[in-house]
Amino acid sequence: MKAALHPGRLLARRYRLLDQIGAGGMSVIWRARDEVLDRAVALKVLAPSLAADARFRGMVRDEARAAAQLVHPHLTSVHDYGETVDPDGSITSFVVMELLSGEELKLRLTEGPLPWTEAVQVGAQVADALAAAHRLGIVHRDITPANVMMTGTGVKVLDFGIATRIGAPDEDEDGETFGTPAYVAPERLDGAPAQPSTDVYSLGVLLYEALTGRVPYPADTWEQLSAALATGPPPTLADLPDLPPAVAQTCLRSLARNPADRPTARQVATALRDHSLPAEPSTATVRVPTPPLPPQSPAVATEAPAAPDGGTSFAVSEPTSESGWSRRRLALALGLVLAVGLTLAGVALLPDQQPTRRAQPSAGPVETPSTDPPTPEPSAPSAPTATPSTTPTTGAPTSNPGTLTEAANRVDGLISAGLSAGEIRDDVALDLRNELRNLTVAVGSGREDLAPPVARLREKVTVRLGEGGISPAYASRLDAAIAELGATRV
């Protein structure tokens, strides 16, 4: 007689079942403990009624192989696949996955649609996960709210149980269509081969439902879906006046009947990401000193050696001729004279005569108007002095972003400030600095245009935000500063 699954049973001499936490048409999900690595895991065990069928065991094994290739913050990690032979010769097959803590999007939507900003963030993260799968040639084929988990670090896409390779037949051996009818792309009803565009359609349905609380074509069976597609009106988002037009267009394009008219998952992620970062708090200001440029001499941007902490520094070099050294000596002497003059003038003022300084705005680089008394003019000819900038770096684009080196220094300074404030994790700061260094080297050497690496760096900020490695406020500032970097002179 087949051994029953029950709490306390040990599978593969390693995984101790604790309690059942879910069930589907083909499998049962158990919370378990990996007694070798001493950690909690989730076991997806093939349902006993199907365990005797080698075809279904093969599907579970193929799911594990497909999902194990996918390493992404918005995809559930697969740790292991195993089979246990029971005393009667029957086989129990299971997939070992990370144990998630959160709420299914399906359950969340029973309360009604999400705020559009949250719906867009969910859509962007699911699109990111699908883009990663599509790059490896895998089509999920079952993107629904039941297969999206809302966790503390962002969404997780679950269940690659009916995933397949791009171009594979999109039906089972009996000619039946896999999936949940209301989320299935129209071309799948005709048996078209599996393509990434079918996942994009399902993503469009999911985003539409998250925004409106309803699917565009309600259906519980394939016949109902065919009838809804034939007679139902085209979906619209006109009843959401606050929704940005770009978001509405992206969602409706994903629902296009013709697969060729749909965007890719990567394009959906990029389009939605611009609207998924939270707004910057109006009272938050971070002041980051900007390294001064040398006076007068023509500057040449160079990459400095890596900093001891693993970060990247950016320097501006100038000719080392005798005239260059003379100008620097003159600038230093003049700076000393001005500093002494300011000090003497400050002492001459009584406390009740100190001028009142107006508060600087919290966003945007500005020049602070000075109300200090005029300083004595030096007798020597005046030369411009380089003074460290205290312009607040809040991520707001400047009207003149300057050179690539200047903008890169601003981004690097913002990373340093976030690291010091505990708003950016150490590993995330190192990752962003490495990406920034690669950008400056590739663009500075002419190997790559500026736009692609800037897009990659912005994408990395969004991914790290979803992982919880960057606070929302700093992610917003970094995104704006990187966008500003993309407008610099190369």
CA distance 244 to 69: 35
For residue 22, pLDDT over 90 is answered with no
Environment class of 315 (CB within 10 Å of its CB; exposed 0-12, middle 13-18, buried 19+): middle
Between these two residues, 284 and 233, which has the higher pLDDT value? Answer: 233
The pLDDT confidence band at residue 122, using thresholds 50, 70 and 90, is very high
Cα distance between residue 186 and residue 189, in whole Å: 6
Cα 7 to its chain centre, rounded Å, is 38
Sign of torsion over alpha carbons 221, 224, 230, 236: negative
pLDDT tens-digit map of 190-239: 878 889 999 999 999 999 999 999 999 999 898 999 999 988 889 999 99
Mean pLDDT over the full length of the chain: 75
The residues carrying an active-site annotation are: 142
Spans of all domains in the chain? 10-98, 102-273, 286-328+391-490
Interval 345-386: pLDDT, tens = 444 444 444 444 433 443 344 344 444 444 444 444 444 443
Mean pLDDT of 256-278: 88
Q: Taking residues 262-285, report their average pLDDT.
A: 72
Q: Residue 490: what pLDDT?
A: 64
Average pLDDT over residues 439-458: 81
pLDDT in tens, 48-68: 667 677 777 777 777 677 777
What distance in Å separates the CA atoms of residue 405 and residue 394, rounded to the nearest whole number?
18
The pLDDT score that the predictor gives to residue 306 is 43
296/400: higher pLDDT? 400
**Using one digit for the tens of pLDDT, what is the confidence trace for 152-174?**
888 999 876 666 778 777 655 55
**Domain covering 10-98, topology:** Phosphorylase Kinase; domain 1 (3.30.200)
pLDDT range class, residue 487, cuts 50, 70, 90? confident
Burial class (CB in 10 A: 0-12, 13-18, 19+), 128: buried
**How confident is the model over 398-413, as a mean pLDDT?**
79
Residues whose CB falls within 8 Å of the CB of residue 43, separated by 6 or more in sequence, listed in order: 11, 15, 17, 29, 30, 31, 32, 94, 95, 96, 97
Q: In whole angstroms, what is the distance from residue 482 CA to residue 30 CA? A: 44
Supply the pLDDT for residue 343.
47
Specify the CATH superfamily of domain 102-273.
Transferase(Phosphotransferase) domain 1 (1.10.510.10)
